[in-house]
Structure 1
Amino acid sequence: MEKELKARKIVEGIVEGEAIVTKEGISFMGTVNPKTGYIIERKHEIEGECLIGKILVYPRGKGSTGGSYMLYDLVKNGVGPAGIINIEGESVTVIGAIIAELPMVDKVDINEIKTGDYVYLDATNGKVKVVKKQK
């Protein structure tokens, strides 16, 4: 089953990949290892998961302004997500996505996306197509 969601473009680009979804905020300064792409924040909902090539779906960023550079570092090291979907893009994540040229959208009902779903993210046109994971 497919579902198409509308989104607001933040950083244009078209990517696709498996979704990794959390209801918790992410700070790229301390939540993610910038050399491996693994979630390292203790007790985070997706602790131990790897972001490489995934579409990262979460409500909004949190924390330090250094997170912008950490997101850039993740992408440039080849261990970052393929794209980001937020309910609300906040400045630290937005700046990181812009400098990393990482497709990003917000204003999306992330409750419609589950970890393991396949996502086609057309950030250029503000569209998110979700193909539900087969059970």
Structure 2
Amino acid sequence: MMSQVFKCHKIVEGCVEADITLSKDDIMFYLIRPEDGVMIETGHDMEGRSMAKKILAFPSGKGSSVVQADGLFQLMKKDNQPAGMIVERAETVLVTSAIIFEIPMVDKVDPAFYETVQEGDHIRLDAVNEEITIL
């Protein structure tokens, strides 16, 4: 299969390759277990799944700035933060946290990407050149 390339908009620079994990629900990083990156929020569509070292595609963040930044910081202390983030709605707290923790982040992704990508696909998130490639 040929790799497919989709345009996106850079928020935080960086280029990373990893498996993707998809969420239809907004994410509060405080409700992710730092030891393994597993979502512990009851009823969340990612409940029981890990985002550690994966590229995380999700609608947006939720919760106060303190719990978002601290949640990501706790994940980073255990080296279980997402490798990169693809968001639909980039809110200030999420963007600031991604900048501080140097996690590549993009938004405004070509809608065809969401119709094509599947859980566990290996992708390259190239925020520098504003491209996402399904490998």
- TM-score greater than 0.5 by the shorter chain: yes
Q: What is the distance in 2 between the residues matched to 1:40 and 1:129?
A: 30
Where in structure 1 are there 5+ consecutive unaligned residues? Answer: none
Name the counterpart of 1:125.
129
Offset, 1:121? 0.4
| Runs of 4 or more consecutive aligned structure 1 residues displaced over 2 Å after TM superposition | none
Name the counterpart of 2:101.
100
Where in structure 2 are there 5+ consecutive unaligned residues? Answer: none
Q: Tell me the number of residue pairs that the alignment of Structure 1 and Structure 2 aligns.
A: 130
For 2:34, the aligned partner's letter is P
- The answer (yes or no) to whether the contact 1:54–1:83 under 8 Å persists in 2 is yes
| Counterpart mapping for 1:76-87 below 5 A | 76-87=77-88
Provide the TM-score with structure 2 as the length reference. Answer: 0.88
Q: Which has the higher helix share?
A: 2
Name the counterpart of 1:68.
69
Q: What is the distance in 2 between the residues matched to 1:10 and 1:23?
A: 20
| Counterpart mapping for 1:1-135 below 5 A | 1=1, 2-30=3-31, 32-66=32-66, 67-108=68-109, 109=111, 111-112=114-115, 113-131=117-135
Q: What is the distance in 2 between the residues matched to 1:57 and 1:118?
A: 13
What's the CA shift string for 1:64-93, capped at 9, x where partnerless?
212023213313420111100011211121
Matched-pair identity in %: 42
Q: CA RMSD in A?
A: 1.5
Provide the TM-score with structure 1 as the length reference. Answer: 0.88
